[in-house]
A and B are shown apart, each in its own frame.
Chain A
Amino acid sequence: MDYLNYLRKDKMPHIWCDGCGNGIILKAILRTVHKLGWDKNKIALVSGIGCSGRTPGYVDFNTLHTTHGRALSFSTGIKLANPDMHVIVVSGDGDATAIGGNHFIHAARRNIDLNLIVFNNYIYGMTGGQASPTTPTCKFASTAPYGNPDSPFDISELAKAAGANYVARSTTYHTARMDRYMEQAFQKKGFSVVEVLTMCPTSYGRANKETGTTGADMLQYQKENSISIKKAADMSEEDLKDKFVTGVYVDKDEPSYLEKYQDVRDKANK
């Protein structure tokens, strides 16, 4: 495939830093769209604010860059107004689970037919490296100079508990896995979440040098510290500290919101 068929070439170069993992995720999204043969006119790519938020600007779909944390709200409106559209939502860890946390859990509870890709780099990159809801305890950030006192969210477990039909987690190192998860997610009715652990050498790596300070080092670190969800099931919490657990967390076919709302319309017109 030719990625340029899906990109707005005149909007390059992008704003992402050297070594950022966001481009790896974007390429996986484009590969998946290509493989599924979706019509570009029928795809909406929606984002909130932050580094992930700039993704739609580079892509030749119907693109919407919304307010901080609210991408799922706008997307809910788009999907319900035009169910023929494929609505892909990209969101960072802060965007999706701090300021947008309420929308995230309710989109999952509602099982609304949206495909969410979370770019989880454990930090607020755009604003200069502040601690986010996924910054691990004791890791450093520009607002956690003594080590982060907070406990992090596990985004995939959160999505699972809240009711999403499909939840999977990959790292940017595991591209084949990421492609497989996205392909499954994009074909799923109801709410799907693919959480991708990505790297931010500029902010996170600089503050936490043991995870790598360049994109390549951080990919290597991902490779060496990833554990499959199956293996992780038999490991202690202590052994899993600082590990990246990847795999499919949920794959079910509960009725989606669109299906349930069609029931409402049918009852209203009886």
Chain B
Amino acid sequence: MSDKNTTRLMQGNVAIAHGAVAGGCRFFAGYPITPSSEVAETLSETLPEVGGTFIQMEDEIASMGAVVGASIAGKKAMTATSGPGFSLKQENLGMAVMAEVPSVIIDVQRGGPSTGLPTKGSQGDVMQARWGTHGDHPIIAVAPNSVEECYYMTVRAFNLAEKYRTPVVVLTDEIIAHLTEKITIRPDSELEIAERIKPENSPDDYLPYKMTDSGIPPMANFGEGYRYHITGLVHDETGFPTNDSDEATRQLMRLNTKFDKHLDDILDYEEFNTDDMDVLIIAYGAPARSAKRAMQVCREQGEKAGFIRLKTIWPFATQKIKELSRQVDTIVIPEMNLGQIAGEVERLTPDATSIIKVNHVNGEAIKPKEIVNAIMNKD
């Protein structure tokens, strides 16, 4: 890697693959699926160059299993897929949640349900990312809206996964994935790279699911002398299964609240013109590009529009959205689904707040004009 900034023309999926390697990824397991294929294709070339491993597995389920296994053995590991594959990965994604194994899942969203619109963009997996695997559980999901962000957000996804012992979903979409634009790559030496917290005590005293103040237990890798047990069953601090109701409550509550003390680090968003706004736009991913333009057009026409772009989707930026929603009577939410984030926002805002949804489920990008029209015609 160069020690200076390099500027290149790059596709979103390729940027994710390069960002992964820069972020420390040394293991990729995947299964071919449109529109994510370039991620796997790029990594099949680059990972062996850096001593890493690329493996094309027999199916999506196996890919997620291999990623969790590789992470347990100490490698930063990732898979990439799209909606139908993301459905299949939920089983072993749940295992990663339960066993608290750092892992990164790239979901290049395409139209659904089922086989849907394979070559067209969508944001239909937002709720699948949140609740796709069974049982109450925490999850982190982030959404890039540019090629450059595909690169850096993948680096960040690995950091979050390692710091918080969790799977992290990068919810990109076909539009950003196949967009080619300018990207500036900083030298690797300038990147902040996080590693999992390792145990400091001896193997005899090691508790792989210890109740720590931070909520995040230190993690030993297999092969390092700790010889502990990992299971998808509810387990106590030692990692062994338990049927004790009190212990189950303790561990599951720790699991489900383990991000609570770290929201300042996990939540990420950017705001534009929210100080004097009369109307708020909330967007993420590809539609956020149109939303930003729509805000500018509205301002030019005398309508005081503000905009928040969510970079972290899950956990949801509850406090921030509550604060901003108090400043306005109208919130406009463009999404390439039928209102999956709008539903979250509705739960947080008073009944009097008017929520205008601008939705596409046909694979076509949402144009700035559609958002502008929704704002201008709100009364």
Contact = CB atoms under 8 A, between A and B. Distances in A.
Interface in A64-113: 64-67, 70, 72-82, 84-85, 102-103, 105-106
A268 B231 CA distance: 37
Interface stretch (A38-46, A117-125, A136-144): A38-46
A74 B66 contact: yes
Contact of B27 (A62, A77, A264): A77
A62 B227 contact: yes
A82 B73 contact: yes
Main secondary structure of the interface of A (DSSP, over half): helix
Contact of B229 (A40, A63, A70): A63
A57 interface: yes
A62 B226 CA distance: 7
A70 B62 contact: yes
A77 B231 contact: no
B219 interface: no
B272 to A, nearest CB: 42
A56 B99 CA distance: 15
B185 interface: no
A11 interface: yes
B241 interface: yes
Say which size band chain B's interface belongs to.
Answer: 35 or more
A33 B228 CA distance: 18
A73 B222 contact: no
Given A57-B229, A64-B230, A77 B223 contact: no
A81 B49 CA distance: 15
Nearest to B103: A77
Interface string A168-192: 0000000000000000000000000
A43 to B, nearest CB: 9
B67 A77 contact: yes
Interface of B: 26-27, 29, 45, 48-49, 51, 53, 55, 57-59, 61-75, 77, 91-92, 94-95, 221-233, 240-241
Interface of A: 11, 40-42, 44, 46, 56-57, 60-67, 70, 72-82, 84-85, 102-103, 105-106, 261, 264-265, 267-269
Given A84-B223, A103-B65, 17 more contacts: A41-B224, A61-B227, A62-B223, A64-B229, A65-B229, A66-B65, A66-B92, A73-B61, A77-B27, A77-B71, A78-B70, A80-B66, A82-B75, A85-B222, A102-B62, A268-B49, A269-B48
